[in-house]
Amino acid sequence: MAELKNDLYLRALLRQPTERTPIWMMRQAGRYLPEYREVRKQAGDFMSLCKNPELACEVTLQPLRRFALDAAILFSDILTIPDAMGLGLYFEAGEGPKFKHPVRDLTSISRLGVPDPEQELRYVMDAVRTIRRELDGQVPLIGFSGSPWTLATYMVEGGSTKNFSEVKKLMFSEPQAMHLLLDKLAQSVTSYLNAQIAAGAQAVMIFDTWGGVLSPRDYREFSLRYMQQIVDGLTRHADGRQVPVTLFTKNGGAWLADMAATGCDALGVDWTTDLGFARQAVNGQVALQGNMDPSVLYAPPARIEEEVATILASYGHGHGHVFNLGHGIHPEVDPEHAGAFIEAVHKLSPAYHK
């Protein structure tokens, strides 16, 4: 494998000195880029794009051609694991993901198998191998998965939801069934991420999009416990380097100290938590990633730069910060504004690393 030319992102995650704050954006490969929309049209639909390693590689690389980003993230979807479990994933226009066969009882959960990442999910591993080869050491490649709780939410609800009634009904009325589902998902995510690392991912991230809808007690029992299980089972060294692990619970600001205690290397922080507060909460145990509100990218460049300055000042001097949005970039954002955001981080962050 080619020698890594830019390892700022990996060093920041391991809290090692960097000359500036590295930056990448959640959903940086996606619908805000006209070139992405062209490839998506060529693929036919979203999952066909995910399942074509060459096209997945192309859209992974597109933002790096436009912007001076410090990492590439595998183009895929968090719902690949439930799809591989046979739940019949499909996408309705304007409605997001849906499953033909949601699981809502012990019997259907008992029938689920743990997918083999090099069999049922081979297309993801082929995409990782292709991207890693084509990156040629330019920047590191991030692999990822959804968290067990977040995947379970979609699998039980049968798609997107606003009130989480089905998944919480199962959690409160049949906790044994819920724990069985979460354990199978934790095993699946562990083997899936380890396979991504073996295929060439140089860092991995777990997206716990829906952990923030739980009470503190339920978060620890039904979400954090299973992310802990994954962290304990991950390959942490490959290619002669440490493989950093980032956990991200959206709306999880109250639990940062608990998350830091899992042994992960970094935590994603959304815009509802001040980075200075987050830094105090984790007390130097982990690096932090975040945390600009993606909607700021609708603002003119001067306002974007002002927000970047505020967030850098909030984190303060020193290492261990990866600049990012607090969630994915919105599809309607002007790519020029994303460019202004990245330039502002390049311009303003070196002062914090002297």
Contact 269, 244 (CB under 8 A): no
If we measure between CA atoms, which residue out of 43, 48, 113 comes closest to residue 77?
48
Q: Which of 32, 154, 192, 315 is catalytic?
A: 154
> Which member of 31, 37, 122, 303 is catalytic?
31
- Identity of residue 38: E
Strands 266-268 and 245-249: parallel
Does 315 participate in catalysis according to the annotation? no
92 Cβ contact list (under 8 Å, min separation 6):
98
Annotated catalytic residue 77: yes
The string of pLDDT tens digits covering residues 292-341 is: 999 999 999 999 999 999 999 999 999 999 999 999 999 999 999 999 99
Whether the model pTM is above 0.85: yes
Amino acid 209: pLDDT: 97
pLDDT for res 2: 81
Q: Which residues are annotated as a binding site for substrate?
A: 27-31, 77, 154, 209, 327
**pLDDT, position 342:** 98
Report the C-alpha gap between 289 and 114 in whole angstroms: 30
Where b means 16+ CB within 10 Å and e means fewer, 29-49 reads bbbbbeebeebbeebeeebeb
Instruction: Please say if 40 is a catalytic residue.
Output: yes
Q: Write down all domains in the chain, each with its CATH number in brackets.
A: 8-353 (3.20.20.210)
Q: Which residues of 232-243 are buried (b: 16+ CB within 10 A; e: fewer)?
A: eebbeebeeebb
Chain mean pLDDT for the chain: 97
pLDDT at position 1 is: 73
- Supply the pLDDT for residue 95: 79
Q: Is 31 a catalytic residue?
A: yes
Chain centroid to CA 354: how far?
30
Residue ranges of the chain with per-residue pLDDT less than 70: none
Query: What per-residue confidence (pLDDT) applies to 119?
Result: 98
Question: Which pair of tokens denotes residue 205?
Answer: 């991230």
Please give the pLDDT value at position 91. 86
Catalytic residue (choose from 7, 70, 77, 83):
77
In the set 20, 27, 104, 279, the catalytic residue is: 27
Q: Give the 3-state secondary structure of residue 15.
A: coil
Tokens 């096209």 belong to 55
118-169 confidence digits (pLDDT tens)? 999 999 999 999 999 999 999 999 999 999 999 999 999 999 999 999 999 9
CA 146 to chain centre: 7
